[in-house]
Structures are given as structure tokens and as C-alpha cells.
Amino acid sequence: MAAPEGWKPLLEWIAFPERFAPPLPFSPGLKSAYRGCLLGLACGNVLGVEVEGWSRAAILARYPEGVQEPDPQERFREWDDDVAQALILGEALLSPEGVQADRLGQALVDWMRRSGRGIGTLTAQVLGRIAGGEPAEEAAQRVWEISGRQSAGNGAVMRCAPVALRWWREPERLIRESLASARVTHADPRCQWSTVVVTSTLAVLLRGTQVDLPSLAGALQQTGAPESVCQAVRETQSATLADLNLDGPSMGFTLKAMQVALWASQVDGEWGDRVRQVVNQGGDTDTNGAVAGAVLGVRLGEEAIPGPWIGCLPHPEQLTELADRLLAAAETG
């Protein structure tokens, strides 16, 4: 199936990022970047999970220096939803057929029944309908309609990193699989296209090139992405974390998580310092930490992630093994 003609600007932005931005000053190598992506996602998640939903003020009242380290007890717990769903999606991407909505939906239902730790309200509603026999995309559409077409949570963005690891070399497949991975639970176009933004950003970083946000916003606009997505990309160019108002009323909004990913693609500094900075802004801290950790993990590599943080993960080998398998699949096409 040929790509829609309207996708051409975004396909070119992903395939030829050197036309828009210079090379990254540092590139960790693909194996390290892949592992850094998934380990970073998980470590950012476990740092943020303890204070999920807290305001910045509440975090600082409890931790005057901010949250500094993950809870070591996390290694005895189930994966939170951000990591669990990323692992499930990664396995789906390794099948010959790629993302199949009903198959992925059922895998998510199985996880919900087995653990479901941290599952969001919208995702739980959709998976409940899938468990009752509805096709996945119909269930997602129905839940969105019931919300008045307003519900646009960050559940698709939080799990999307494996799509980039599998398909960064093939921009058309990257976009298709990103959209498909989101549609399983999130029918709102803002959720689907913010997922594309994050996977496209990761793809450009994996190509060893800096991420130029103005040209990304322009490519998205020409491609037909929702204007709110394009505008959120533009706004991130000059935004500080405080400007993003991560602990405000829309803390779980998909565009907030997307903006965190874009912010992480732009900033310099140590992996741990930047992830702490995100989490200590408050809001949906586990997801924001996961998204920032994944992007910074691609940029800086596995070695940049503090060993004690990795030691707080329940099964880090699941992440490194999946990363290695996704890399092998990407290299063989």
C-alpha cells in the first residue's frame, strides 16, 4: 500500500534530517542507544511513579531537594503501565505482521487481568470493551465518542518508543505502525499524531541528527496533523519545563507528554539530572519521566543511566533483550 501523498513532507523530514539540522555532537552507537531507550523509559518511570499526580509544590514539600532516586522496592513490584505496555508493543512489532489491532488489544487485556498496575481510565475502559468481545479499534472509538470526543490521554505516547526502534530506517512504516499502535486504545487524532511526533523524533535521533522543531511543525502541518499538535510542537521550541505547566489541570494530556519528549530532544546535560528535572515538575510524573528517559536514553546511551537506578528495576534483562531483538530486526528489514 502506497503512502498517502500528504505524508511526503513528514517522510522527508524523517528520512533526510540533515537537511534541517546538524549532526548530534555525541552519538552512543546503536546498541547503546536502543538499550538506553528502553532502560531510560523504565528508570524514568520508576523515579516518577511514587509522586504520580502530585503538584510541584507537594513534591518539594515532601522532598525539599526534589525526588532524587527511585524507590529500591520497585524491583519487587510489577512493571507500571508505561513499561508493561511498551514491552507488549515491542513484542507485537517483532511479529511478521507488525501491529495487528485486535491481537495487540488482546495482549493488553491479558496484561490488565494479570496485573494492570497503573492503568489509565480511558485505557481500562477500552480494554474492558475488548475483553467483552468488541474489536479493538471499535472499542477505542466508542469510548472516545462517549467522552464527547474530548478524552486524549497520554497512554499511546507513553508506550510508543519501540515503534521507533523497529522502524526508524523506514519512515513510511514508522508512521503507519505509530498510528496503528495508538488506535488500539486511543481514537483521538491528537493521540495518534502525538505518537507519530515522538517516534519521528526518536527516529531522527537514531539517525544521529539533532531535532529541528520548526521544520517538524511545518512538516506536520503539511501532512495534515491536527493543528493543536503542530502548535504544541512550535511552542516547545522556546519553552522551559515550567512553561509546559506539567502539574496543571491537563497533566495527563497527550500533548503534554509529547512536549516532554520534544524538550528532552533539545536539552544538554546528564541523563539523571534531566529526568529528575522533569519528574520534580509534578503532574503525570511516571509517564513524563518515562518519555523523557527514553528520549535521553537514545541521545546519551545505556552508559549514561545510573547503575543504581537500573538496579531498582524488576527485570532489566527484559528491556535489554527486547532492545537487542528490535535492533536485529531493524537491521535485517
Q: Which residues make Cβ contacts (< 8 Å) with residue 20, sequence separation at least 6?
A: 13, 212, 215
pLDDT at 333: 77
- List the domains of the chain with CATH numbers: 5-332 (1.10.4080.10)
The pLDDT assigned to 2 comes to: 60
Q: Is the pLDDT of residue 5 over 90?
A: no
Q: What is the pLDDT of residues 244-303, one digit of tens each?
A: 999 999 999 999 999 999 999 999 999 999 999 999 999 999 999 999 999 999 999 999
Predicted confidence band at 46 (pLDDT cuts at 50, 70, 90)? very high
> Measured between alpha carbons, how far is residue 310 from residues 68, 143, 252, 277, 278 in Å?
14, 36, 26, 18, 18
Examine the pLDDT at 4 and tell me if it is beyond 90: no
Q: How far is Cα 47 from Cα 233, in angstroms, rounded to an integer? A: 26
Alpha helices in 147-247 (DSSP H): 155-158, 161-167, 171-183, 189-206, 213-223, 227-236, 241-244
Percentage of the chain lying above the pLDDT 90 cut: 98
Q: Using CA atoms, how far apart are residues 141 and 171, in angstroms rounded to an integer?
A: 26
Q: What is the pLDDT of residues 112-169, one digit of tens each?
A: 999 999 999 999 999 999 999 999 999 999 999 999 999 999 999 999 999 999 999 9
266: its cell numbers: 533539545
Looking at residues 70-78, what average pLDDT do you find? 98
